[in-house]
Amino acid sequence: MQFLRNTVDKLKKPFLKGGKLERYEKGFQAIETFLFVPNHTTKHGAHVRDGIDLKRTMMIVVIALVPALLFGMYNIGYQHFSQVEGSDLSLIHLFGYGFWKVLPSIIVSYAVGLGIEFAFAIWRNHDVNEGYLVSGLLIPMIMPIDLPLWMLAISVVFAVVIGKEVFGGTGMNIFNPALLARAFAFFSYPNFMSGDKVWVSDAMTTDGMSGATVLGSLAQNITPSYSTMDMFLGLIPGSVGETSKLAIIIGALILIATGIGSWKIMLSGVIGAVVTVFAFNAVGLNELMNFSWYNHLMVGGFAFAIVFMATDPVSAAQTERGKWMYGFLVGFFTIMIRIFNPAYPEGAMLAILLMNAVAPTIDYYVVNSNIVKRKKRMKTNPLKTA
């Protein structure tokens, strides 16, 4: 490693203060600190520091996403060949088909997003934040597979510039950037983002087949033909990452075990959704209302969203008590939107974006209760009244 270190040190010189490329220092630094955790020592405060940093945190989330991503690639192939071409192929073949379908969108997402992050870091002279390592992978995983790459690129630009940088960059954004990208695409290019034909690769150019998702069928009051096991394993049409509940649960366990994702948000989200489904089951006017609670958890993007999107610490509630409330309401609104608004068969995206906007208010009331307690204590303090 010493050789690599020496090479980096040599390359670094023009980027240092007074060097020719001084302006691009932050960009070089981002790459350098990616290769090597720097030799910075503590200058103020505590002399020893926790081994964790934001890079490690974000990598944990990326690792947690990998099972869902790999299964998603396989499922793209599986859906395509079982519904469009109707041939029976080996696992490797199906995975290979999906891999080559998904890879370009991952590359485009990272290239465009990180490009903007680097540009802003150099322009505003701040460090490149690691947040986009996760957003960049999330975005292709929540889009339909056949979304043209240029649409994906524009959505990424919107999410990073309008969703993040205008608020001051990572840590300051109000909305989850990945969901913002999806919402932008959803409202700008509805033909490519919703309907029966977008969720299976090449279904749009094929006549006479239905690639409808489970929620899509339900919204039209048709009982879906997939079994609960299919939904659990993920052998259903949908966006890349959302279909396999098994893979998502593995990811959730990684996030919870490492302490990176908030189990409070995940658990309260599931409780919120289940309670709401029970309420609608009692009414039971149509297929969606009659759909059982465990099936509701299995379909659509809810599971993926509650594990990977609702737990984004920046846009979620930041107080521990607030997280319970925030998660519960995400679950509640997801089901509400599913059932009452058939134009949006999946409610998780809108539910989380809505709750992102409400989260600061939840925090405000949680923090305020502490303030009220402190003021009350001052008033009832015996020394003051004596």
Partner 1 sequence: MSKDIRIPKGLDIKLKGTAEKILSDLPRSEVYTIFPTDFHGITPKLLVKIGDKVQAGDALFFSKTNERVKFASPVSGTILDILRGEKRRILEIRISADAKDSFREFGAKDPLKMSSDEVKSHVSETGCFPYFIQRPYEIIVDPNDTPKAIFISSFSTAPLAAHDAYALSGQELAFQTGINVLTKLTSGKVHISVCGTDNSFFDKLDNVEIYRVFGKHPAGNVGVQINQIDPINKGERVWTIKPQDVALIGRLFNTGKYDATRVFALAGSEVNKPQYYKAIQGAQLGKLLTTQVKNTNSRFISGDVLTGKKIEKESSLGFYTNLISVIPEGNYYTFFGWMPFTQNQKLSLSRTFFNFLMPHKEYNLDTNLNGEERALVITGEMEQVFPMDIFPMQLLKAALAGDIDKMENLGIYEVAPEDFGLIDFSNTSKLEAQEIIREALDIMIKEVG
**Do the Cβ atoms of 133 and 66 come closer than 8 Å?**
no
Length of the chain, in residues: 386
Provide the 8-state DSSP code for 171.
T
DSSP H or E segment with residue 29: helix 25-35
Binding segment for partner 1 (CB under 8 A), chosen from 40-48, 145-153, 297-305, 345-353, is 40-48
Confirm or reject binding of residue 12 to partner 1 (CB under 8 A). no
Closest distance to partner 1 from the beta carbon of 260 (Å) = 7
- Helix 131-141 to helix 149-157 angle (10° resolution) is 140
Closest distance to partner 1 from the beta carbon of 366 (Å) = 8
Confirm or reject binding of residue 314 to partner 1 (CB under 8 A). yes
In 3D space, the residue among 89, 70, 71 whose CA is nearest the CA of residue 81 turns out to be 89
Confirm or reject binding of residue 374 to partner 1 (CB under 8 A). yes
Tell me which of 92, 107, 283, 320 binds partner 1, using CB under 8 A.
320
- If the CB atoms of residues 18 and 45 are measured against partner 1, the closer one turns out to be 45
Please give the structure tokens belonging to residue 174: 């109000």
Tell me which of 10, 18, 48, 86 binds partner 1, using CB under 8 A.
48
Confirm or reject binding of residue 348 to partner 1 (CB under 8 A). no
Closest distance to partner 1 from the beta carbon of 296 (Å) = 28
Confirm or reject binding of residue 47 to partner 1 (CB under 8 A). yes
Task: Say how far apart CA 231 and CA 47 lie, in whole Å.
Answer: 51
Largest CA distance in the chain: 88
Confirm or reject binding of residue 56 to partner 1 (CB under 8 A). yes
- If the CB atoms of residues 10 and 44 are measured against partner 1, the closer one turns out to be 44
In 3D space, the residue among 245, 258, 244, 246 whose CA is nearest the CA of residue 60 turns out to be 258
Tell me which of 10, 282, 383, 385 binds partner 1, using CB under 8 A.
383
Tell me which of 108, 316, 349, 352 binds partner 1, using CB under 8 A.
316
What string marks each residue from 170 to 189 as x (binds partner 1 by CB under 8 A) or -? xxx-----------------
Confirm or reject binding of residue 59 to partner 1 (CB under 8 A). yes
Confirm or reject binding of residue 229 to partner 1 (CB under 8 A). no
- If the CB atoms of residues 39 and 90 are measured against partner 1, the closer one turns out to be 39
Confirm or reject binding of residue 93 to partner 1 (CB under 8 A). no
CA angle, corner 50, sides to 45 and 56, nearest 5? 130
**Do the Cβ atoms of 86 and 107 come closer than 8 Å?**
no
**Do the Cβ atoms of 121 and 15 come closer than 8 Å?**
no
Confirm or reject binding of residue 37 to partner 1 (CB under 8 A). yes
Confirm or reject binding of residue 249 to partner 1 (CB under 8 A). no
Tell me which of 3, 18, 44, 343 binds partner 1, using CB under 8 A.
44
Confirm or reject binding of residue 22 to partner 1 (CB under 8 A). no
Closest distance to partner 1 from the beta carbon of 48 (Å) = 4
Closest distance to partner 1 from the beta carbon of 310 (Å) = 13
Closest distance to partner 1 from the beta carbon of 43 (Å) = 8
Q: Which of residues 99-138 bind partner 1 (CB under 8 A)?
A: 127, 129-131
Tell me which of 185, 198, 260, 305 binds partner 1, using CB under 8 A.
260
Tell me the DSSP string of 84-147. Answer: II-----HHHHHHHHHHHHHHHHHHHHHHHHHHHHHHHHHHT-PPPTHHHHHHHHHHHTS-TT-
Confirm or reject binding of residue 46 to partner 1 (CB under 8 A). yes
The answer to whether the Cα torsion of 282, 288, 291, 297 is positive or negative is negative
Cβ-based neighbour number of residue 1 at 10 Å: 7
Half-sphere exposure of residue 362: CA atoms within 13 angstroms, side-chain side: 22
**Do the Cβ atoms of 305 and 265 come closer than 8 Å?**
no
Please give the structure tokens belonging to residue 30: 């981002």
How large is the C-alpha radius of gyration of the chain? 23
Which residues make up the interface to partner 1 (CB under 8 A)? Answer: 1, 4-5, 33, 35-42, 44-57, 59-60, 63, 127, 129-131, 169-172, 257-260, 262, 313-314, 316, 318-320, 323, 367, 370-371, 373-375, 377-378, 381, 383-384
